[in-house]
Amino acid sequence: MKGNFAAIALAVIGALALAVNLDLLEIDLVNLLRKWWPLALIALGVALYFTPDDQPRR
């Protein structure tokens, strides 16, 4: 799950950046990041919570 989350997050961020560069979307990324940066921390915490442990439990 940990690797999948990072791959999906990078793909989504890249797709959004490409859409903005191609003028398909008009998003002010700086303003968006200033307002919603805590959401990235929440998403990271949820992803880490659902990541399976490498060591089996006894």
Query: Is the pTM higher than 0.75?
Result: no
pLDDT digits (tens, 9 = 90+) for 8-25: 888 888 888 888 888 888
What's the token pair of residue 16?
């959004």
Euclidean distance between CA atoms 22 and 14, whole angstroms: 12
pLDDT digits (tens, 9 = 90+) for 26-52: 878 788 888 888 888 888 888 888 877
Going from N- to C-terminal start, the domains of the chain cover: 2-49
pLDDT of 56: 66
